[in-house]
């Protein structure tokens, strides 16, 4: 009886340890994926061309400049400043996000035509980013602790990770599947499922280039497979470790763009 008890106890301990080890491993992978996607270098500057195609194939184009600054090393707080250059209806519009690891992100949108600073509520973070198929949350990334992650497969090229929201009532998806490159740790494809468990949104990396020693996504698209249409982003003139000062990521620079860093 005692032998059976200790054998059963050992099995339970082993199973618990194995599960804990897998959870630790998948969190390491997810953390590295977020760092590869959003945190390379101490800061970053890039020009971005945005092409928005509706379900009928009609296209709208926008040009913007992205500034990003890390507050420390690795996964942590960040600051984003997005300045729109073209077309005329969005010229000098500014989106700014302060990514906070321990609480909800802060986001603002400056509308120059109205001279209005609009705060983006946390409840709106998964809504369209200025009319595109990307969400406000996509600009700075989703907090790692908002979802439960599970490593469901490992292939020669990818880690396959399934993520479920811890608060499903706060989001429109039921889960999403990520294919993370085992060499670069960049998430190359993410498929989001709705509450009916049907894929409705697909994020796909189209091009990766080595820039200043960093594997960098230079072409990416998000497709709405339910309603139709997609948005493609092309990054150019990407620079790392520019030396962006912290003070430009403040509300007063929404109306007064830091021109010297937008050239």
Q: Look up the domain containing 197 and give its range.
A: 2-261
85, 111 Cβ separation under 8 angstroms: no
pLDDT tens for residues 124-137? Answer: 999 999 999 999 99
Burial of 46 (0-12, 13-18, 19+ CB in 10 A): buried
Reported pTM: 0.89
Element (H, E) at 22: helix 2-38
Structural domain count of the chain: 1
Element (H, E) at 37: helix 2-38
Beta-carbon contacts of residue 85 (< 8 Å; ≥ 6 apart): 63, 64, 65, 91
Give the alpha-carbon dihedral of 77, 71, 236, 59, to 10 degrees: 30
- pLDDT at 20 (0 to 100): 44
> Tokens 């709106």 label which residue?
124
Task: Give the closest residue to 146 by CA, choosing from 121, 176, 120, 182.
Answer: 176
> Tokens 């073209």 label which residue?
86
- pLDDT at 8 (0 to 100): 46
- pLDDT at 3 (0 to 100): 54
220, 204 Cβ separation under 8 angstroms: yes
Q: Looking at the predicted structure, is the pLDDT value of residue 141 above 50? A: yes
Q: Residue 98: which CATH number?
A: 2.50.20.10
What is the Cα–Cα distance from 182 to 185, expressed in whole angstroms? 5
Q: What does the radius of gyration of the chain's CA atoms come to, in whole angstroms? A: 21
pLDDT band at 10 (very low <50, low <70, confident <90, very high): very low
pLDDT band at 6 (very low <50, low <70, confident <90, very high): very low
pLDDT tens for residues 218-236? Answer: 999 999 999 999 999 999 9
Task: Give the closest residue to 239 by CA, choosing from 27, 8, 42.
Answer: 42
Task: Give the closest residue to 232 by CA, choosing from 39, 2, 21, 57.
Answer: 57
- pLDDT at 17 (0 to 100): 42
Element (H, E) at 12: helix 2-38
């Amino acid at each position: 009886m005692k032998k059976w008890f200790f054998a059963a106890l050992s099995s339970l301990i082993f199973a618990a340890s194995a599960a804990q080890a897998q959870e630790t491993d998948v969190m390491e992978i997810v953390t590295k994926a977020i760092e590869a996607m959003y945190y390379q270098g101490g800061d970053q500057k890039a020009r971005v061309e945005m092409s928005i195609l509706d379900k009928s194939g009609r296209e709208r184009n926008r040009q913007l400049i992205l500034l990003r600054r890390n507050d420390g090393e690795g996964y942590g707080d960040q600051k984003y400043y997005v300045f729109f250059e073209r077309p005329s209806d969005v010229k000098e519009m500014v989106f700014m996000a302060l990514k906070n690891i321990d609480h909800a992100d802060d986001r603002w949108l400056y509308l120059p035509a109205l001279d209005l600073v609009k705060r983006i509520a946390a409840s709106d973070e998964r809504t369209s980013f200025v009319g595109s198929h990307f969400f406000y949350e996509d600009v700075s990334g989703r907090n790692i602790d908002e979802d439960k992650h599970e490593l469901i497969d490992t292939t020669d090229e990818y880690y396959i990770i399934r993520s479920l929201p811890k608060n499903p009532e706060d989001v429109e998806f039921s889960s999403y599947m990520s294919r993370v490159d085992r060499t670069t740790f960049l998430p190359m494809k993410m498929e989001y499922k709705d509450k009916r468990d049907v894929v409705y949104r697909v994020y796909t990396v189209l091009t990766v280039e080595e820039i200043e020693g960093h594997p960098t996504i230079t072409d990416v698209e998000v497709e709405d497979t339910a309603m139709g249409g997609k948005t493609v982003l092309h990054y150019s003139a990407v620079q790392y470790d520019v030396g962006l000062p912290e003070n430009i990521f403040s509300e007063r620079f929404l109306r007064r763009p830091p021109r010297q860093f937008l050239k």
